[in-house]
Structure 1
Amino acid sequence: MSEELISRDSKQQQPTHLGHELEKWLALADIQVGGDRPWDIRLKTPRVLEQAMSRGNLGLGEAYLDGDWEVDRLDEFFYRLLLARLDEKVVHSGLFWQLVRCRFMNLQTLQRAWQVGEAHYDLGNEFYAAMLDSRLTYTCGYWQEADSLEAAQEAKLDMICRKLGLEPGMKLLDIGCGWGSFMSYAAEHYGVEATGVTVSREQAAWAAERYQQLPLKFLLQDYRQVEGQYDRIVSIGMFEHVGRKNMQTFMEVARSCLKPEGLMLLHTIGKNKRANTPDPWLDKYIFPNGDLPSIGQIGDAADGNFVVEDLHNFGADYDKTLLAWDINFTRAWPEIAPKLKLDERFYRMWRYYLLSCAGAFRARRVQVWQWVLSPQGVPGGYQRLQG
């Protein structure tokens, strides 16, 4: 080997000031560079350090997609990183521009609302069928007494039915109905008639075909186009796409469609701080224009529209749900990858999404809330029906 190559190789191995800085931050989360524990990070190129320090999770995530670093347990890596709040200690310019976008732009206009359907939910019904439960329920399961994904999702669906006090013959509106998992369960077990709206063509077509025998209607439309009067309204895992500038409008539309004596259940992921901005990596690669609400933002939107009857947090259960999805996804990958023409980069992207989110829920940095709302207050008071 020439002296020039030896010199260049030795320079690459020398730890940089940036490398020392990153190692110092990671040590606060008990993460080692080059360690042998499942959550320790192994770097394949020194540019990962610069990407992480200058661009936060967007840089770190893109470096992972490029194969520039590895870790045996992504969920444990992110759990420790987020528990130590390292994302708040490393400030980069990208966060400023993300804040400006969210604060001054409406990223969830009627025209833009369809983007998430096309980019995420229209990946294909076969793809999601390989990852989810038999009803294709793409929201957090309820694991209190469940020992499987199927049982956890059914427990969640039934809990919502009981919280809403569903009875035969009621008319139900599902805003953001997905593949119709809740509507079908409610119709089969509680005898309701249901109308669901979604911005995903794949979801609407699949659900309409599968549930032809049930009194269900699936509409391809935005929530702002909803009309009619309903005894009950439910929205499960859709409010994350509404955006802070449209939350009031969402509540006003729901209120106008709900009978005076009705109930609405809002199930949503939520953030701990009002001022937090959407994660730039998730915004770019997974959920375009997503915007998690805070307790205060939902309260502001409900103000003047609804009485808050009940608020239930079971965010820790999303950790188990995401891990179950990851197991299904990795198990199905050898079969679905060639059939759906998905490459290794997609595999890394999808697992980064599932497992980084699992770590975030484990660290309790994000929550899952179910709000029960009434137009004018339940006479005598509302009794939670979750047992």
Structure 2
Amino acid sequence: GNLKVTGPKGSTVVFGDGSGEPVHMHIKTKHAERAISFDPMLAVPEAYMDGELDILEGGVLGVMRIAFQNMGSGGIDATWSKAIEGLRHAFRRLQQINTASRSRRNVQRHYDLSGDLYRLFLDDDMQYSCAYFEQPDMTLDEAQAAKKRHIAAKLRLKAGQTVLDIGSGWGGLGLYLAKAFDVDVQGVTLSTEQHGVATDRAHVQGLQFDLKDYRSLNERFDRIVSVGMFEHVGVNHYRTFFDKSATLLKPDGVMLLHTIGRSGVPWATSAFVRKYI
């Protein structure tokens, strides 16, 4: 790559073989310099957010491109930072102990922000999970609509069936399924803000969205769908999630689970993602 780093005293160091688009970062404070030397994967984005680091050339994408291209290639990332990430991996199961009360706190911290914030970058239906771009020139709204159609097709819905939406968010998927397929949808979420928005939207169609943990439910459903919620369950609670889902699903029922996975071995989530996302 082609990276230049200017320190707080004004001296500049050049890294890489000179190939690719140039990237130039300016570390403005000694505090940021120390933090980056200790834990760059967390400290670089924090310093950028706090105004202690400027990207003079190449932009954020350029910095990220160089970081990913050089992961595991040696230097700080392969020694000190690798040890830090190893400790994070060792303790990740402790961090993923999600009791009912802890689950609610985690959800409130992430989702109980104003819906106006999420409307700035989500589609009109407020789908907070990856879209399905059947065609590369689709808009975000079109791709999210395609995602909902794809989910519905896999659920093989029939009019009059009962559907449980675990982690129903702002209600968009449940509202779509109810309107398009004449099914009875019940959604559950732990976010007060999401529940309020979903309930306001649901009044139009007479749907039910509940502010409760899925583990407290006792009814049985023809279909269960869960999109973008399983990431919050935690490894220690996978068995609980699937056992409970099995008891909530009728013997001839269908469940669809949509989640983010990885093709490699399990590892700790990025420190920045875990702290801020």
Q: TM-score, normalised by structure 2?
A: 0.85
**Equivalent residue, structure 1, for 2:9:** 12
**Equivalent residue, structure 2, for 1:241:** 232
CA RMSD of aligned residues (A): 2.6
**Equivalent residue, structure 2, for 1:41:** 25
User: Distance between the aligned counterparts of 2:178 and 2:29, measured in 1?
Assistant: 54
Q: CA deviation at 1:164?
A: 1.0
Please, which of 42, 61, 83 is the counterpart of residue 58 of structure 1?
42
Matching residue's letter, 1:134: D
User: Distance between the aligned counterparts of 2:246 and 2:189, measured in 1?
Assistant: 19
The 1:187/1:75 distance shift into structure 2, 3 A limit, reads farther
Q: CA deviation at 1:271?
A: 2.7
In the TM superposition, structure 1's runs of 4+ consecutive aligned residues that sit over 6 Å from their partners are none
Match status 1:227 vs 2:218:
yes
**Equivalent residue, structure 1, for 2:3:** none
Q: Check conservation: 1:53, 1:90, Cα contact below 8 A.
A: no
User: Distance between the aligned counterparts of 1:192 and 1:91, measured in 2?
Assistant: 54
SS of equivalent residue, structure 1 residue 108: coil
**Equivalent residue, structure 2, for 1:314:** none
Please, which of 109, 119, 128 is the counterpart of residue 118 of structure 2?
128
The 1:14/1:139 distance shift into structure 2, 3 A limit, reads same
**Equivalent residue, structure 1, for 2:204:** 213
Q: Which has the higher contact order (CA 8 A, sep 6+)?
A: 1
**Equivalent residue, structure 2, for 1:186:** 177
The count of aligned residue pairs is 264
The 1:91/1:11 distance shift into structure 2, 3 A limit, reads closer
Please, which of 68, 85, 93 is the counterpart of residue 82 of structure 1?
68
Q: Check conservation: 1:229, 1:259, Cα contact below 8 A.
A: yes
Q: Check conservation: 1:28, 1:84, Cα contact below 8 A.
A: no
**Equivalent residue, structure 2, for 1:337:** none
- 5+ unaligned residues in a row in structure 2: which ranges? 1-6
The 1:274/1:228 distance shift into structure 2, 3 A limit, reads farther
**Equivalent residue, structure 1, for 2:274:** 283
Percent identity for Structure 1 against Structure 2 = 31
User: Distance between the aligned counterparts of 2:170 and 2:144, measured in 1?
Assistant: 14
User: Distance between the aligned counterparts of 2:71 and 2:18, measured in 1?
Assistant: 8
User: Distance between the aligned counterparts of 1:123 and 1:90, measured in 2?
Assistant: 38
**Equivalent residue, structure 1, for 2:52:** 68
Please, which of 194, 197, 200 is the counterpart of residue 191 of structure 2?
200
Q: TM-score, normalised by structure 1?
A: 0.62
Q: Check conservation: 2:165, 2:226, Cα contact below 8 A.
A: yes
Match status 1:169 vs 2:166:
no
Matching residue's letter, 1:12: K
Matching residue's letter, 1:133: D
Q: Deviations over 1:282-311 (max 9, x none)?
A: 22222xxxxxxxxxxxxxxxxxxxxxxxxx
The 1:79/1:183 distance shift into structure 2, 3 A limit, reads farther
Q: CA deviation at 1:117?
A: 2.1
Match status 1:100 vs 2:86:
no
**Equivalent residue, structure 2, for 1:111:** 101
SS of equivalent residue, structure 1 residue 207: helix
Q: CA deviation at 1:188?
A: 1.2
Q: CA deviation at 1:103?
A: 3.2
Q: Deviations over 1:192-245 (max 9, x none)?
A: 111111110000111111121224211111222222111111110011100010
Q: CA deviation at 1:281?
A: 1.6
Q: CA deviation at 1:173?
A: 0.6
SS of equivalent residue, structure 2 residue 256: strand
- 5+ unaligned residues in a row in structure 1: which ranges? 1-9, 287-387
SS of equivalent residue, structure 1 residue 112: helix
Q: Check conservation: 2:165, 2:225, Cα contact below 8 A.
A: yes
User: Distance between the aligned counterparts of 2:79 and 2:256, measured in 1?
Assistant: 37
Q: CA deviation at 1:13?
A: 3.2
Q: Deviations over 1:38-74 (max 9, x none)?
A: x543433465444233113222222112212233532
SS of equivalent residue, structure 1 residue 138: coil
**Equivalent residue, structure 2, for 1:369:** none
SS of equivalent residue, structure 1 residue 156: helix
